[in-house]
Structure 1
Amino acid sequence: MTEQKRLSAGDPAPEFRLPDATGTEVSLSEFRGRHVLVYFYPAAGTPGCTKQACDFRDNLGELNDAGFTVLGISPDDPPKLAKFATEQELTFPLLSDKDRSVMTAWGAYGEKQNYGRTVTGVIRSTFVVDPDGTIAKALYNVRATGHVAKLRKDLGV
């Protein structure tokens, strides 16, 4: 596998400005002063991504109460994100990174292992961004199932 950029704790979180499911532009800087959980997932509506999104949805109250905002990012276009959000009753922003430039900047797009083969795609990843805009945790190759529970435990939420 080729070397690709990975973020680590203490790195500045790369800024982004992406459309949400309604087409409204959302930027990371809008959340300065708050803790943000940014998670990258391969495709809205697939079984693993649905499980992960619903886990965030089901834990959103506790995460929000602890001061965390959740943002999900995938390469899906806004209409597909809107359909996914409606079907799964998701109440946190889903953002569209069609050209995968934000994913690449965060190290969440590139070569990965999939069923023993090296492929290029979205690397399921979650980042905890501190209120000052620095990375507190960078978690790559997370599992769709059980990830939110582990994250809550690690964050003491």
Structure 2
Amino acid sequence: MAPMYDHPGEHAADDPIRLLAVRDTPLSLDEVHRAVGDAAAGGTALFVGTVRNHDGGADVAGLGYSAHPSAEAELRRVAEKVVANRPVRALAAVHRVGELGVGDVAVIVAVSCPHRAEAFDACRMLIDDLKHSVPIWKHQRFSDGTDEWVGAC
């Protein structure tokens, strides 16, 4: 999928939503961190979701993420809700799709706010709403040969 606001400079000057993307390539912590840099922010919170080696007592061998074509539009809606409800100076969210192995980065979200407590709160809201609302599905493959699909990731 083509990313929206894929570079920190590609946003309106007053738009705190700096980077949104659903990608099939590895994600960059540095890119996301740079995107939320803001001189007026006293706190930046960043969350990184990785593929773990187990789920529900079973060993995970790998997984694949699939996204509905509306995923980026829904990601924007989620980001706009966070910005409307929290004092966000800058926000970024990227999610990977395709085949991932244990330890691979699947999602990175970050926010900058005037104070650290606000940044933690906004970051939690962003990742929780993303996982609940953005139509991205996880197909887990277990080491015993079984697999399962998981709703929103």
TM-score, structure 2 as length reference:
0.31
In terms of fraction of residues, the more helix-rich structure is 1
Q: Which has the larger radius of gyration?
A: 2
For normalisation by structure 1, the TM-score amounts to 0.30
